[in-house]
Amino acid sequence: MDLFSGSVNACENCLEVAELVRRWRSSKRHHKKDEAAELRHRFLFFHLVLALMFLGLLGRLWQMQVVQGEEYRQRAERNALRLVMRLPQRGLIYDRNGVSLVQNVPSFTAALVLADLPLARQEVILSQLGQILGVSQDQLRQLVDKERTQRRFFTPIPVAEGISQDKAFFIEEHSAQLPGVVILTEPVRYYPEGALISHSLGYVGRISPEEYNALKGSGYDRNDRLGKTGVEKVYQVQLRGQPGWDQIEVDADGRELRTLATQAPVPGNNLVLTIDIELQRKMAEYLAQGKGASGYAVAIAMNPQTGEILGLVSLPSYDNNLFSYSIAPNELSILLEDPGRPLMDHAIGGMYPPGSVFKLVAGLGALQEGVAGPNTQILSTGQISLLSQYDPSVVYTFKDWAALGLLNFYEAVARSSDVYFYYLAGGYQGFRGLGAERLARYARELGFGQPTGVDLIGETPGIVPDPEWKQKVIGDPWFIGDTYHFGIGQGFVAVTPLQLLNAFGVVANGGNLMQPQIVREVVDGLGKVVTPFTPKIRRKVAISSDNLAIFGEGMRQAVAWGTATLAQVPGVVVAGKTGTSEYGAIDPATGEYPTHGWFVGMAPYPKPEIAVVVFVEQGRGAQTAAPIGGQIIRYYFERGKEGR
């Protein structure tokens, strides 16, 4: 039993072991199946992740290459080298005594660089910039779209000039939030005297697209500034200097990394004008006081021996500082709508009938041609009358301003007799005058009908009529009455104030028709004279010095006892000529034509160092213009020769 029992127990143990082995093997087979399934699941998940990542990459590539392709192309282009122009310091301008007439002052301009303006954030940036500058977002967007179509990606586009320092610093401080927005620190012109000398100086403004297209081959930048009028324009090349440049490396956001190469700009040269600013100030003062309610007026002072313009005033004037930045539309409208035309330099751009001051032409022509001499006497009964050559029943009357009696040449000039000069110009009752052709020839000989050549912008040539001109322009034949009117500065003849002054300069200097000049010297930054002053004689006129002296003596008598006595200056011998020219339509209330007032004077006679012309719209020569001329000459001599 014990043995059997032991065997039985042994067998039972063997069965337990066998069962355990069976269960282990079964568990192992199930474990391997679960692990394989898990591995398969993991591989499927990994494949799915890879597929999603690949799809994400494809989507990003689509976004970068198609949706944002243009932006990234620009970013790639700009993540390189750029050539930045450095504008030179513009030359300064001084009066003849060294008084500064212009300054270069720093100014802040907000600008956009399209290459650095992210397309995705453009609207947000433009909105923020517009709020800072007070400019509408739509206005900024239109500017950006316009410049982008022109592919102006790298040149800063000004959007607001002359902004305050606070706004400029605010934008600089927030440059990280405003990519593509830059602050330009630019020198702009400031004119201390403003309207006093604006017509002569002119002003500097931003280069226009048309100007840039014409000048880009000469080293001009799209943001350059250049002279628009006056000596700022005429002497643009001398004042500008030579631009420099920096070659810089930038990152994708347009930030400068380093400067690789540089060339310094060369400052412009300075100008010294012939103008005496203190004389100019007094001339403007006297003219403003004396012109009264007249719409516009002119006064010019010149050295007749050299052609140097000592003062040039055209009223009304304008403040040229308004144009240093973009002028406001309302301010520009005020200037354009002013009936006095302040933007126009009436001294060189206005053409007016000269009236009796033009008797210079008929007088000198008659003397030179032997039509009259200093002792030729003519009776003025107050008028001459002519029968119409087509209808004898029609009588034409040509009046004098008074019945002046028997006059010789000197007295006719001194008293400004119209009848005397009718005789000299067209002849009368057996007296043979010059005739229209010779009148026109002597007018041109004295510089009328052509620009004087002064170094300013906007000069007009005036009009010297003759029979051919009238037939061509008016379509009518020339009559004897046209010759009479021509001889006394009426009818079709028109002159500028500077032309008239320059013609009288021939009497003052003994026969030289000068070219007026307003720039005396060009000097460099160290004060070295680059271009010295040289008087320019256009020609020696075909009139003898004796005949010039005869007319000059008539002018001296005009101031001593004739029509120009209000131009007298104590202690100074002044020679002068007045003129009152009619223009426009007859005033129904008075039955008379409106008039312009003229005066031309020179002193000290017979060797003048100053000559003056005064023109007053709606004025009269003896009563309005002559006193102003006398004040100018008096100030010139009372001030003395200091600084001349």
Residue 372 sits in the same domain as residue 494: yes
Phi and psi (nearest 5°) for 196? -60, -35
Q: What percent of the chain has pLDDT over 90?
A: 64
Residues 395 and 284 both lie in one domain: yes
The predicted pLDDT at position 8 comes to: 40
Give yes or no for a cis peptide into 604 (omega within 30° of 0).
yes
Mean pLDDT of 230-247: 90
Residues 306 and 259 in one domain: no
Is residue 553 in a domain?
A: yes
- Over residues 220-233, mean pLDDT: 91
Q: Quick one: which of 362, 426, 359 has its CA closest to 398?
A: 426
Of the CA atoms within 13 Å of residue 140, those in its CB half-sphere come to: 27
CATH at residue 251: 3.90.1310.10
Cβ neighbourhood burial of 191 (10 Å; 0-12, 13-18, 19+): buried
Within a domain: 228: yes
Q: Evaluate whether residue 572 is within a structural domain.
A: yes
Question: Residue 643: inside a domain, yes or no?
Answer: no
Range of the domain at 543: 277-638
Contact 577, 599 (CB under 8 A): yes
Instruction: Classify strands 270-273 and 519-523 as parallel, antiparallel or unpaired.
Output: antiparallel
Q: Max Cα separation, the chain? A: 192
Number of domains the chain is built from: 3
Instruction: Check whether 54 has a pLDDT greater than 80.
Output: no
Dihedral angle of Cα 54, 56, 58, 60, to the nearest 10 degrees: -140
As a whole number of Å, the CA-based R_g of the chain is 43
Beta bridge partners of 616: 297, 597
Q: Indicate the residue type of 467.
A: P
Q: What is the amino acid identity at position 335?
A: L
Segment 605-621, tens digit of pLDDT: 999 999 999 999 999 99
456 and 372 part of one domain: yes
**Maximum mean pLDDT: which of 49-53, 514-518, 589-593:** 514-518
User: Considering 40, 67, 94, which residue would you say is the last residue of a domain?
Assistant: 67
Of 611, 579, 587, give the one whose Cα is nearest residue 495: 579
* Cα distance between residue 405 and residue 178, in whole Å: 86
Measured CA to CA, the distance from residue 180 to residue 172 in angstroms comes to: 11
What DSSP character marks residue 91? P
Task: Give the model's pLDDT for residue 217.
Answer: 83
The answer on 631 and 561 residing in a single domain is yes
CA 169 to chain centre: 31
Is 73 part of a structural domain of the chain? no
How many angstroms separate the first and last alpha carbons of the chain? 159
Q: Are 37 and 60 within one domain? A: yes
Residue-level pLDDT at 71: 58
- Whether residues 266 and 286 share a domain: the answer is no
Name the pLDDT band for 341 (thresholds 50, 70, 90): very high
Q: Are 522 and 626 in a shared domain?
A: yes
User: Which residues, at least 6 apart from 36, have a Cβ–Cβ distance to it below 8 Å?
Assistant: none
283 and 253 co-located in one domain: no
Rounded-to-integer distance, Cα 432 and Cα 435, Å: 8
Using the 3D structure, point to which of 253, 270, 287 is the last residue of a domain: 270
Q: Does position 67 have pLDDT exceeding 70, yes or no?
A: no
pLDDT band for 53, please (50, 70, 90 cuts): confident
Residue 511 resides in a domain: yes
60 and 153 part of one domain: no
Strand partners, 160: 110
User: By C-alpha distance, which of 507, 567, 546 is closest to 359?
Assistant: 507
Q: What is the DSSP letter of 545?
A: H
Q: Domain boundary residue among 67, 98, 113?
A: 67
> 316 near 293, Cβ under 8 Å?
no
Lowest mean pLDDT among 262-271, 279-288, 612-621: 262-271
Query: What pLDDT score was predicted for residue 70?
Result: 62
Q: Is the peptide bond before 606 cis (omega within 30 degrees of 0)?
A: yes
Residue 3's pLDDT is 37
On whether residue 72 sits in a domain, the answer given is no
Are 131 and 228 within one domain? yes
Give 467 or 243, the one with higher predicted confidence. Answer: 467
> Peptide bond before 316: cis, by omega within 30 degrees of 0?
yes
Q: How far is CA 239 from the centre of its chain?
A: 14
Residue 575 · residue 332 · CB < 8 Å: no
**Per-residue pLDDT tens digits for 14-45:** 445 455 445 545 555 555 556 666 766 676 77
384 forms beta bridges with 398
CA-nearest of 597, 594, 593 to 564 is 597
DSSP 88: P
Q: 240 and 219 share a domain?
A: yes
Q: Give the 3-state secondary structure of residue 245.
A: strand
